[in-house]
Amino acid sequence: MGAAVLPDTAVLGAVLKRYPFVPRHRFTRGISSTLSVRNRSYSVADKRIFKSAHIVFSHNNGDDMFTDIVVDQDLGKNEVLGIEDELIAAKKSLSEAQDRQEAIEKERDQLLEELARSEARKQEYSAAILHDKEVAIRELEAAKSLFQKNLEESVEEKFSLQSKLVLAKSDAVDLAVQVEKLAEAAFQQATSHILQDAQFRISSAETTAAEAAHQIEKQIKDATEGTISSIVEKSKHAIERALAVAEEAGEHAKEAMETFIDGTSPFTEITSVQVENIKLQGMLSDLESQMMVARNEVARLNIELEHTRQQVKAFEQRAIDAEKALLDLQESHRKTTLQQEEEMKSLMEKMRKDVADKTKAISKAFKTDLKNIKATIEASKEVVVSKDNAYLRRCAALQRSLMTSEDALKMWKQRAEMAEAWLMKERKLDVEDEDSIYAVNGGRIDLLTDVDSQKWKLLSDGPRRDIPQWMARRIKAVIPKFPPKKTDVAEALTSKFRSLELPKADEVWSIAREKPKEGDALIEHVFERETIEKKRKALERALQRKTIKWEKAPEQKILEPGTGTGREIVFQAFNWESWRRQWYQELASKAADLSKCGVTAVWLPPPTESVAAQGYMPSDLYNLNSSYGSVEELKYCIEELHTHDLLALGDVVLNHRCAHKQSPNGVWNIFGGKLAWGPEAIVCDDPHFQGRGNPSSGDIFHAAPNIDHSQEFVRKDIKEWLNWLRSDIGFDGWRLDFVKGFSGTYVKEYIEASNPVFAIGEYWDSLSYEHGSLCYNQDAHRQRIVNWINATGGTSSAFDITTKGILHSALHNEYWRMIDPQGKPTGVMGWWPSRAVTFLENHDTGSTQGHWPFPRDKLMQGYAYILTHPGTPVIFYDHFYDFGIHDVITELIEARRRAGIHCRSSIKIYNANNEGYVAQVGDSLVMKLGQFDWNPSKENRLEGSWQKFVDKGSDYQVWLRQ
């Protein structure tokens, strides 16, 4: 550093001209006052005496302070000049004045040249403006021609679309006629085939009946003829034998007569005749018996003949029935034909209607295109107008720059005149101030500050012009004459040096300690550095917390959306009345406390715009300004949760959505916003909203239109919305509302697309009751929930409503309800614990709704159960902050953490009866509910040493393994 000493006043004028920043600072007034202040002047005859004066001009460059100009004129104190010396001095002053005049004329010439150059630049600017204007006009003409061309193309496209529409209509009509013909031919073909088949069957039945009758008649005839012939043969044989016997008897009679005549004994002959008669009688009796058998056989054959006739009648009746069935079939086919014709007519009507709708849609799209073209034209006009305005503004800026240059020229002239006036004026000095030095530095003091303390202030307010090397060398020559810098306020106050019209020393010291403020030059990087520092500290804190967690639970890791990390503790952070307050801001202030208490995930209320203030009747899904707060407040709340290492779960309603407009027939089924769906996005079996989609894959929610998730465009829009909530808003997972209304397969698709850290489904179903009391067996209820989880492929967990319902009754001295026949818990926890989200109360069952509130006197037993058992427990906001059990719940969370319990922990139930309940969870925790006396140290089945961690008497007790 150094100082430049100028021997004459001409240099002062040159310096004043060289450094235009000097007149703008307060030191100008200091100089003028210094030049005109109380100077004692003496006449030439009185031998004038002048006191030496130093005028110091300071200039800063970077962090160092330099002195620019030092005017040193020392005329001596007590020297008396003679008249000759005065004449010599006058001549010298005259020559100096002439030199100054020449310098001023030279400067004037330079200013005139600068003015001429300014005029030339002005002309160049005018030419450039005119050129730009011509270019803009040419661009506008090109845009107009392009628009005209696009308009003609759009008109031609309109005509081509109209012609295509006419052709499409004719094609549709031809297609309908062909469909009718094909349907008629197909129907006739199917009908003729059926009729031929029926006739063939009837003729076959008749033929079969005739053949059977013929066979039966033939069998009867053959049997009758065989029987009669056998009877005749037998009769003939008997008659022949009788005739033979009669002949033999006659012969015997003749022989007897001859013997009698010959003198033979007649008695002998009579005896033989009697014997023969007896034989004949036996033969006659045999013949009669055979005749009886023949008659019986004829009677049996008659019965068979009658039976055969009945069968023939039955076959005839069947033939009649078959003919009647054929007539019925023909009648039914005729009705079917009529019905098909009606269906074809309705199909044709629907096709005509669809064609009309498509025509309307095309015309609407064409109108929309025309509107877009008009909007484009307006936009181009606005662009042209904005360009014209920009050109006008540029012209005005150029004019202002010219005026500024003229003002600068005037200012330089004034400065030259002022310098000349100062140099021509007599300067007088005060003898009493011989030890004072006036130091000026643009309103700041050098003497009381050091470089470091004034660094930011000088950077923000100091001059920016570099000092030439020659000036720096001259400043370095003068700098040793400066007073020493002071290091504190006390030393500065006792110093003999003082400033000219400057702040007090205390104020200067306060400026040195003051922080940089917005608006100061070169200060943005300071705030950026502070922001980076804050982020770095936040990351260090998060890393430290994560390091502590990893040390405590080294196996912890992200598994899947159905389980999260496996150690989640969810906090439902709202109730039914939370929308009445600025909820996001209030919740953000509780993030630190929730993280400290052991909560890992926070379930936020539905974020979308909703017809109902609570958020469960959403309308515009992309509008997140809800009753709970604005979208900015929501983002801030989520950032606070993330800062304290908490997951943010969004409550998304996918089953239904409220419409924005009515259809022409007055039904609210037209959606607005970014997702502008229509009736095609609503299920067709929703009776109130006339949807044109497919049937619902679940139950109907009657208060709002139920969305048809089978539509491809619906699923695509929902997946994009969920990904937007993840990436832009910051949500980590989902609580899915009313999933009973649509299939779990769609939930699987949504989860796989959005990849949440954790997902919970609300599958609300009624438990089984008998005569007003809860049934013991609730397997069917939990099976329905497990079926839904299976439908999602296990990608989502579900609220364990079975466990909640059972706890309502079990904690009233019916603890036997808490174990199933297989020795497992009776809720979903017993079958699929990793997907069971246990809870006692939520915004629906509790709060001001009170649909199914948990017994107030058993609240702590309920939390002792779910917080020490497998599954993922949920804590309700009202219980945690309004019921006065904040610390008690925190104590149970700490017990769960120390025991290392997670969603898949093993469980073994030792007691479950009227007196109480005892279970061991994992390897390190045992808990008891109820009044009976029990201690793990007295149980042979429990090895190791156990220490009681929580003791609430007859309510519950918790032991941890040492």
Per residue in 282-293, pLDDT tens? 777 777 777 777
- Higher per-residue pLDDT: 134 or 740: 740
Share of the chain above pLDDT 90, in %: 37
Pairwise CA distance, residues 737 & 753, whole Å: 18
Pairwise CA distance, residues 261 & 421, whole Å: 222
Q: Does 790 reside within a domain? A: yes
Report pLDDT for 259. Answer: 54
Q: Does 718 reside within a domain? A: yes
Q: Which of 30-39, 134-143, 458-467, 486-495 has the highest mean pLDDT?
A: 134-143
Question: Of the residues 749, 762, 820, 878, which is catalytic?
Answer: 762
Number of neighbouring beta carbons within 10 Å of residue 955: 18
pLDDT digits (tens, 9 = 90+) for 562-601: 999 999 999 999 999 999 999 999 999 999 999 999 999 9
pLDDT digits (tens, 9 = 90+) for 506-526: 544 444 444 444 444 445 555
Kindly tell me if the per-residue pLDDT of 261 is higher than 60: no
Q: CATH number of the domain at 842, please.
A: 3.20.20.80
Report pLDDT for 559. Answer: 65
- Higher per-residue pLDDT: 552 or 803: 803
Question: Of the residues 620, 717, 737, 955, which is catalytic?
Answer: 737
Is residue 871 within 8 Å of 825, Cβ to Cβ?
no
Report pLDDT for 14. Answer: 42
Report pLDDT for 230. Answer: 66
Token pair belonging to 847: 């709060």
Domain residues for the domain of 828 are: 570-654+710-904
Q: Does 719 reside within a domain? A: yes
Instruction: Please state the rounded mean pLDDT for residues 242-256.
Output: 64
Pairwise CA distance, residues 920 & 743, whole Å: 37
H-type alpha helices, 619-730? 631-643, 712-724
Instruction: Please state the rounded mean pLDDT for residues 653-659.
Output: 96
Report pLDDT for 77. Answer: 42
Q: Does 916 reside within a domain? A: no
Where does the pLDDT of residue 30 fall: very low under 50, low under 70, confident under 90, or very high at 90 and above? very low
Number of neighbouring beta carbons within 10 Å of residue 267: 8
Kindly tell me if the per-residue pLDDT of 226 is higher than 60: yes
Where does the pLDDT of residue 556 fall: very low under 50, low under 70, confident under 90, or very high at 90 and above? very low
- Higher per-residue pLDDT: 147 or 547: 147
- Higher per-residue pLDDT: 192 or 883: 883
Q: Does 909 reside within a domain? A: no
Report pLDDT for 525. Answer: 54
Pairwise CA distance, residues 499 & 930, whole Å: 86
Annotation marks residue 762 as catalytic: yes
Domain count, the chain: 1
Lowest mean pLDDT among 150-164, 814-828, 914-928: 150-164
Lowest mean pLDDT among 161-165, 772-776, 842-846, 877-881: 161-165
Kindly tell me if the per-residue pLDDT of 133 is higher than 80: no
pLDDT digits (tens, 9 = 90+) for 429-486: 443 433 333 333 333 334 334 444 444 444 444 444 556 677 666 666 655 555 555 4
Nearest to 594 by CA among 640, 655, 536: 640
> CA separation (Å) from 65 to 171, 442, 544?
91, 11, 46
Annotation marks residue 64 as catalytic: no
Is residue 600 within 8 Å of 633, Cβ to Cβ?
no
- Higher per-residue pLDDT: 307 or 505: 307
Kindly tell me if the per-residue pLDDT of 73 is higher than 60: no
Report pLDDT for 150. Answer: 72
- Higher per-residue pLDDT: 961 or 202: 961
Q: Does 235 reside within a domain? A: no
Report pLDDT for 21. Answer: 38
Report pLDDT for 887. Answer: 94
Is residue 862 within 8 Å of 845, Cβ to Cβ?
no
Report pLDDT for 376. Answer: 74
What does pTM read for this prediction?
A: 0.48
Q: Which of 15-24, 216-225, 630-639 has the highest mean pLDDT?
A: 630-639
Q: Which residues pair with 925 in a beta bridge?
A: 921, 960
Q: Does 384 reside within a domain? A: no
Report pLDDT for 544. Answer: 65
φ and ψ at 195, to 5 degrees? -65, -45
Mean pLDDT of the chain: 75
Token pair belonging to 579: 């929308």
pLDDT digits (tens, 9 = 90+) for 702-750: 999 999 999 999 999 999 999 999 999 999 999 999 999 999 999 999 9
Report pLDDT for 208. Answer: 62
Q: Which residues contact 179 (CB under 8 A, 6 or more apart)?
A: 344, 347, 348
Q: Which residues pair with 769 in a beta bridge?
A: 774
Report pLDDT for 242. Answer: 62
Give one DSSP letter per residue of 10-79, joined into a string.
HHHHHHHHH-TTGGGSTHHHHHHHHHHSS-----STT------EEEEEEEEETTEEEEEEEEEE---SS-
Q: Does 913 reside within a domain? A: no
Report pLDDT for 400. Answer: 75
Report pLDDT for 436. Answer: 35
Q: Which of 244-248, 297-301, 630-634 has the highest mean pLDDT?
A: 630-634
Q: Angle of helix 9-18 relative to helix 83-262, nearest 10 degrees?
A: 20
- Higher per-residue pLDDT: 534 or 721: 721
Report pLDDT for 426. Answer: 43
Instruction: Please state the rounded mean pLDDT for residues 242-263.
Output: 60
H-type alpha helices, 743-841? 744-754, 779-791, 801-810, 828-831
Kindly tell me if the per-residue pLDDT of 43 is higher than 60: no
Share of the chain above pLDDT 70, in %: 63
Report pLDDT for 808. Answer: 94
Beta-strand pair 570-572/601-603: parallel
Report pLDDT for 842. Answer: 95
pLDDT digits (tens, 9 = 90+) for 672-689: 999 999 999 999 998 889
